[in-house]
Structure 1
Amino acid sequence: MEKNNFRKIATITLFESAVQWYCFLLYGTAAGTVFNKVFFSQTGNGTTALILSYMSFAIGYIAGPFGAIFFGHIGDRKGRKVTMYASLLMMGISTSIIGILPPAASAGVGVVIVLQLMRLAQCFGRGGTWGWRIPFLAAIILTLIVIRQKGEMMETEDYKKAQAKLEAEEAEGKKHKVGFIPMVKGYWKTLLLGCGTRWVDGTFYNIFIVWILSYCINWLGMPLIQTYIITIIACIFKIPFTLFGGWCAQKLGNTRTFVIGALASAVLSIPTLKVIELSKGNLAITIIGIVLGWSIAYNLIWAVISSLWSSYFETEVRYSGISFVYHVPSFLVAGMVPTICTLLINYGKGDTIYVGIYSTVVALISAACALALKARHDRGEK
């Protein structure tokens, strides 16, 4: 692949990923800070409204596995462009519609149903004050920009070769099974262990970026605007440490980098949550806690997790395999995390120790799954 073409693909892919995560992060952020008041305040109980808001966030993950199966199969058979157009448009449109929904107090329960349908569409596509609406409405503009740019991107050479081989076999009358079912039959042990590595990713993201915002507001008394500042700064720090994770992967390999990140996350989980708890709402100290627990340690995981998964699937089933590992367990390992943490923090009356124990155990399990995957791969097992 020519260097200029590689740089173009890398740039467009980066922008596409940013748009997808922009859409996804918006809902998670709003679920813990805005939606409980705008769409679920009719319950009359703050904790119940927050749990319902987080459940609307979690239920969306149910659509993820269906999107993974649907787009994964098409991606392996027809190429990535078709799935990219469909998934990006679905995410962009559904996210923008959320931005114009009226409050439940004036529109009734019907608006909650529409909200949930848009959340389902958002996840399927992905495999307070009126001001919160602006980022949601901006999603469609960003989506159209990235679709226009990525339309020029070529398929990878590996995929072209696999597609040519498939077409040649079909022309000779041979049946070559590609897609979801063959992938499950041939790689089921890899899929299970891969889902185990997904657990730390879904848990730490949803603790430190989604759930922590409602904790800061409801238990530490921080103003809403400060929670958004926390998210922005944490994501800014994420960038260099993701790049650092990529550098580590080149030197140490994907598995070692992932395991180091998972173990570091396990070690830092309880202390960083305690730092946030004991900050008593101090913005600077809270930011330090989140940067240490998420922006640094977690991003060693995030930097390598996709390449880790892709190395365990042949080209013919790679799209389906990665989609399965990421989306199928998402409801339990990611979507339910804010709700679980809300219940744990209420049980502990504001003490973060139970959330810390929960996240520590998850990180250790994911590290073990990554090591087991590497051992199977070294033995030539699928």
Structure 2
Amino acid sequence: MSSNLSTPAAVPPAHGETTEKDSRRALVSSFLGSTVEYYDFLLYAAAAGLVFPKLFFSSEMDPALGTMLSFVILLAGYVSRPIGGILFGHFGDKFGRKNMLFITLMMMGVVSICIGLMPTYAAIGVAAPLILVLLRVIQGLAVGGEWAGATLMAAEHVKEKNRGFAASIAVTGGPTGSVLATLVLGLFAGLPEEAFLSWGWRIPFLMSAALVVIGLYLRYRVTESPDFVKAREAGEVHTGVPIMRVLRKYPLSSLYGILAAAGPLFMQALLAVFMVPYVVSTGAVDRQTALMMLTASSFVHIFAIPFFAWLSDKFGRRPVMLAGAAVSVALVFPMFAMFNSGSYWLIALAFMVGNPIIQASMYGPIGAFLAEKFETQDRYTGVSLTFQVGSVLGAGTAPLLATWLVGLENGAGTSNIAWYFIGLIAVSALAVYLSKETRGRADRDRTAREDAAAANAV
């Protein structure tokens, strides 16, 4: 697993310089590759509450228990993400970003095809949920290495002043993948119940193969990260264990990054996984309509994330993320009131408030916020660790916690979720507040090194 696997045509210009063409290709590759990865990962999330409880668990089981177990398997994918992040971060910091991203995309595609071809509980019994757990864990490993690698490939190919926006291009692969996943699944959800559960839900998973081929081609053509090339030429790439350096050199930065990511990621998973079956269960809208509402909000989300990231390039990561936290606290109760209104248009508006406003306002700058906490030679591992552990605390636990909180005997229902979210956002905001402003850090570090070198020369 060596950087020598790259083709001669893909070698960056001398001294790690990059051209505008290289930058554009890196942005497109990161965006489309991340889109494919999250299409596969979130397709499972969308199906977890609608399909899997009926197909991969015993028909004699309580449906509520089947849904809960399906969410447990969903959590298994999130738990494995930090492991994947550390694994691929290790090799990405030692040998480069490009090859790792090729491998993660290939893994994701193979797993989705396997899920699409899986026999049900009726055919193979308890082996069905066990195989589903294994495939979900492999998915988590792949996504764990994908997010940081794609974000860094985009951010490290552009100038410092544009890194927030560039990093967000890869981050928008998440909502874009969600749009594709919910749109395709929603189209097939309009089939008669028997046809949908028999074969309709499988087609979106199998369609992943075509997307993976396109993504692999683009990743084959992209150049290696110029920041990594410069670090390697300067002898700054170490032969040790990157995770140990990250834990030793950046303990507080890592902790603040984890906590900062947890709040917005909770809202992301809550909307993508829990709220669709929840609003369907109230009888206000049907399954297909709920999926289309989520799809529409995810589409707007694609543009909201870069907007807030662009603001962070202008005003700093901390001010934008702290303002996003305040917006989140102010809007979460109105959002749930709309979800519970029984009104078609208010439920649709609730998804719009939740994704493009509450979630994106704090999540948009997160790629650059995390990447700028770490030096180049430790960055892949550091970003993977912080984001993926944050995803376990936030997104991975969201469906299970929401199910438990709604069912509490105090009768507060979704208000319990709202209060929990406010507490989590408060922790995330505190972590952002305690963090140093990272916008322009590379320029400041470069100036400091040049001043030190000049002083030593004298």
TM-score normalised over the length of structure 2? 0.77
**Aligned counterpart for 2:253 among listed residues 190, 201, 204:** 190
| Offset from partner CA, 1:244-287 (integer Å, 9 cap, x none) | 21221122112211121222112111210111112x2x332211
Between the aligned partners of 2:322 and 2:202, the Cα distance in structure 1 is 39
Match of 1:331 in 2: 392
Contact 2:40 2:205 in 1 (8 A): yes
Offset, 1:349? 5.2
Between the aligned partners of 1:37 and 1:268, the Cα distance in structure 2 is 35
Between the aligned partners of 2:427 and 2:394, the Cα distance in structure 1 is 12
Contact 1:270 1:360 in 2 (8 A): no
Question: 1:102 aligned to 2:124?
Answer: no
Distance 1:333 1:43, change over 3 A: farther
Offset, 1:43? 4.9
Between the aligned partners of 1:291 and 1:40, the Cα distance in structure 2 is 33
Contact 2:75 2:396 in 1 (8 A): yes
Match of 2:129 in 1: 112
Question: 1:266 aligned to 2:329?
Answer: yes
- Report the number of matched residues: 372
Secondary structure of the 1:292 match is helix
Counterpart residue type for residue 313 of structure 2: Q
Match of 1:373 in 2: 435
Counterpart residue type for residue 202 of structure 1: L
Contact 1:217 1:224 in 2 (8 A): yes
Q: CA RMSD in A?
A: 2.2
Match of 2:377 in 1: 316
**Aligned counterpart for 1:141 among listed residues 207, 210, 213:** 210
Match of 1:79 in 2: 96
Question: 1:158 aligned to 2:220?
Answer: no
| Offset from partner CA, 1:289-340 (integer Å, 9 cap, x none) | 1111222231122221010001110001000000000113433322121011
Distance 1:252 1:329, change over 3 A: closer
Counterpart residue type for residue 284 of structure 1: W
Match of 2:401 in 1: 340
**Aligned counterpart for 1:46 among listed residues 55, 63, 69:** 63
Distance 1:178 1:53, change over 3 A: closer
Contact 2:371 2:379 in 1 (8 A): yes
Question: 1:23 aligned to 2:40?
Answer: yes
Between the aligned partners of 1:178 and 1:108, the Cα distance in structure 2 is 42
Between the aligned partners of 1:81 and 1:145, the Cα distance in structure 2 is 16
Contact 2:256 2:434 in 1 (8 A): yes
User: What are the residue-to-residue correspondences of 1:83-94 with 2, within 5 Å?
Assistant: 83-94=100-111
Offset, 1:220? 3.7
Contact 1:216 1:227 in 2 (8 A): yes
Match of 1:35 in 2: 52
Distance 1:18 1:158, change over 3 A: same
**Aligned counterpart for 2:414 among listed residues 330, 352, 357:** 352
| Offset from partner CA, 1:116-173 (integer Å, 9 cap, x none) | 1110000011125221111111112211211111111112221111111238x9xxxx
Secondary structure of the 2:407 match is helix
| Offset from partner CA, 1:59-82 (integer Å, 9 cap, x none) | 122211211111001000000122
Contact 1:63 1:123 in 2 (8 A): yes
Contact 1:65 1:324 in 2 (8 A): yes
Match of 2:275 in 1: 212
Between the aligned partners of 1:194 and 1:46, the Cα distance in structure 2 is 37
Offset, 1:88? 0.9
Offset, 1:13? 1.2
Secondary structure of the 1:42 match is coil
User: What are the residue-to-residue correspondences of 1:123-142 with 2, within 5 Å?
Assistant: 123-127=140-144, 129=197, 130-142=199-211
Unaligned runs of 5+ in 2: 1-17, 145-195, 446-458
TM-score normalised over the length of structure 1? 0.92
Counterpart residue type for residue 208 of structure 2: A
User: What are the residue-to-residue correspondences of 1:188-337 with 2, within 5 Å?
Assistant: 188-220=251-283, 222-278=285-341, 280=342, 282-337=343-398
Between the aligned partners of 1:349 and 1:26, the Cα distance in structure 2 is 32
Offset, 1:208? 1.4
Higher mean displacement: 240-249 or 93-102:
240-249
Offset, 1:15? 0.6
Contact 1:255 1:370 in 2 (8 A): yes
Higher mean displacement: 343-352 or 267-276:
343-352
